[in-house]
Amino acid sequence: MVKKVGVDLSNLFSGAEYSQEVHELKETIDKLQEEITQLRSTGNQELETKIQELRGRLVSSGVQNVAIEVIDPNPEQPRQTFSEESITAIAISLESEGQQEPVILIEQTNERYLLFDGERRWRGAKQLNWLALKAVVIPQPEALHRGVLLANLHRENLNPLDTAEALIKEIAAQSNLKDEEIPRTLRSGVRRLERQGTITQLSELVLATREQQQQHLSMLGLGDAEQIVFRVLLSLLLNPASINANIFPMLALPSDLKQAIREQGLGGIHALSLARLSAKTLGVTEAAARKVRTRILKQVLQEKLSVAQSRQIVAAEIARHTKQTDSNLEKKQVDAIIRRVQEIPVLHVEHLQLVQMHEALRLKLIEVESALKQSDNLEV
């Protein structure tokens, strides 16, 4: 029988009160990952310390072997992306070094257990055909999704698409907003603060207490729904402006780029750059645009291009298609003019108009002959 540990996790990830010393969070589109790194390496280190303290308490309370076959993955797990490479790496580590830390389980009915922490270790052990894992069992946290979300956000670095979907789920759980309303609500609130010139105040609020956050938000002129969205994000140690710029746009990516993020490790900012290769921008069908994205995506991944390099390639591709589109448009216009000239009835046109038409065509003919000479010279 597995020994249960009486540890209350509901307040473990309470968030903003842990530190007042984190460097000011950056808000530009390339800096969200740096924000999370800062949180982990500076002010949020206390969160890591608390997690390690918890593990110590759990281990001292007794780690037991639990059969892998009675362990189920957590449906509330924000992380939906588990690449084969990362699981293989975990499996190699387990095989060579053994299991260094126990997984954390929640007891369910029928003597089964739900993973709270350690799904990659569980998957790696299954890959090795292990029969059991070292584990401890805890009571069901009151806010399971929130606890796992915080653990993933600040310890395992979710990819931006998983982060976006998990945040939508968390905000929806704490409000009456529908999933599709949440990004629009956040966007409207951010724009409001940008117009007011108060957007920079969000960085300071990330590390404020819950009471300070609520009080300050009520003074910024935000709507009720906007305040709810901002409050949830701030309680998770996230800057709403950064989420609006870097994370929620992932939800609008085309399906092929979402798949590339999950299965091929495409970076979020890279994906946003490639998303510019849309049917509308390129002036082609959606199927043709997808082929273009697939080709550029392959180049970005194979050559491990930076964001700046990826943007240059995307811009060049758009320019090439735009030039082709302009050329096709000009050709169509010339064809139309030729048809109209050919169709002009001249038998019953007045003499003066015929003279004017003749002069206009003579002058245009001179331009055409000049253009032909230039064209002939280029071919030579």
Tell me: the pLDDT tens digits for 115-174? 877 888 888 999 999 999 988 777 665 555 555 565 556 555 568 888 898 889 889 988
Domain count of the fold of the chain: 4
Rounded to the nearest 10°, the torsion over CA 319, 324, 330, 332 is -140
**Res. 175: pLDDT tops 50:** yes
Give me the sign of the Cα torsion angle 306, 308, 313, 317: positive
Q: How far is CA 203 from CA 26, 64, 164, in A?
A: 8, 43, 20
Same-domain pairing of 30 and 135: yes
Interatomic CA distance for residues 221 and 226, integer angstroms? 10
- pLDDT of 4: 42
Residue type, 203: S
Please report which confidence band the pLDDT of residue 319 belongs to, taking 50, 70 and 90 as the band edges. confident
- pLDDT of 30: 38
Same-domain pairing of 296 and 354: no
- pLDDT of 139: 66
Q: What tokens were used for 347? A: 């038998």
Mean pLDDT calculated for residue range 81-95: 81
Angle (nearest 5°) at CA 8 between 7 and 9: 110
Same-domain pairing of 126 and 205: no
Q: What is the mean pLDDT of the chain?
A: 77
Same-domain pairing of 200 and 299: no
End-to-end CA distance of the chain: 89
**Res. 6: pLDDT tops 60:** no
Same-domain pairing of 235 and 267: no
Q: Which of 81-90, 261-270, 348-357 has the highest mean pLDDT?
A: 261-270
Same-domain pairing of 200 and 225: yes
Tell me if 325 is assigned to some domain.
no
Find the domain containing 351 and state its range. Answer: 345-380
Burial class for 119, CB neighbours closer than 10 Å (0-12, 13-18, 19+): buried
Q: Which of 165-179, 246-260, 320-334, 335-349 has the lowest mean pLDDT?
A: 320-334
Tell me if 2 is assigned to some domain.
no
Same-domain pairing of 199 and 229: yes
- pLDDT of 64: 82
DSSP, collapsed to helix, strand or coil, labels residue 65 as strand
**Res. 277: pLDDT tops 80:** yes
Mean pLDDT calculated for residue range 290-307: 92
Quick one: which of 244, 238, 245, 249 has its CA closest to 203? Answer: 238
Interatomic CA distance for residues 355 and 243, integer angstroms? 68
pTM over 0.85: no
Same-domain pairing of 72 and 100: yes
**Res. 9: pLDDT tops 50:** no
- What DSSP character marks residue 110? G
**Res. 195: pLDDT tops 90:** yes
- What DSSP character marks residue 16? G
Please report which confidence band the pLDDT of residue 81 belongs to, taking 50, 70 and 90 as the band edges. low
Q: How far is CA 224 from CA 189, 198, 242, in A?
A: 10, 18, 20
Q: List strands edge to edge, sheet with 113-117.
A: 64-67, 132-138, 103-107, 113-117, 71-72
Tell me: the pLDDT tens digits for 11-31? 333 333 322 222 332 333 334
Q: Single out the residue in 218, 250, 282 at which a domain terminates.
A: 250
Give me the residue label for tokens 């959606």: 286
CATH number at residue 109: 3.90.1530.10
Bridge partners for 4 per DSSP: 137
- pLDDT of 149: 61
